[in-house]
Amino acid sequence: MPAKPVSPTLYWVFQRRCQPGLCCAVRETMSLPNFVRPGDWIFGATVREDDSLPFGFLPAPAREATETLGYYVFHHPCETLAPRYSRRWA
């Protein structure tokens, strides 16, 4: 029996207000970690594993970290998560 195709994971990515390069990705199906507070973090983007990804975001470590910890922290070298600062994952 063939394996069921796995649908790409969708993440919400938040940026730290005082350190915009610091990002926290959370699966859309999970609760936000306690440290992601409205005054300290802002919503940056919605990211799909099979789409354009922010620099610094690695799908395999993101999957593993969110399964284990519930979130994935990474560094994005730009102050914005705009698509022009993203790249396709090959």
- Model pTM? 0.78
Q: Is 81 a member of any domain? A: yes
Q: Is 20 a member of any domain? A: yes
Q: Is 5 a member of any domain? A: no
> Based on the structure, what is the number of domains in the chain?
1
Domain that includes residue 81, residue range: 10-88
Q: What is the pLDDT of residue 89?
A: 42
Q: Is 4 a member of any domain? A: no
Q: Is 77 a member of any domain? A: yes
Q: Is 1 a member of any domain? A: no
pLDDT tens digits, residue range 11-57?
999 999 888 789 999 999 999 999 999 889 999 889 998 888 888 89
Give the Cα separation of 18 and 87 in Å (integer).
25
Q: Is 57 a member of any domain? A: yes
Q: Is 2 a member of any domain? A: no
Transcribe 39-71 into DSSP letters. Answer: TTEEEEEEEETTSEEETT--HHHHHHHHHHTS-
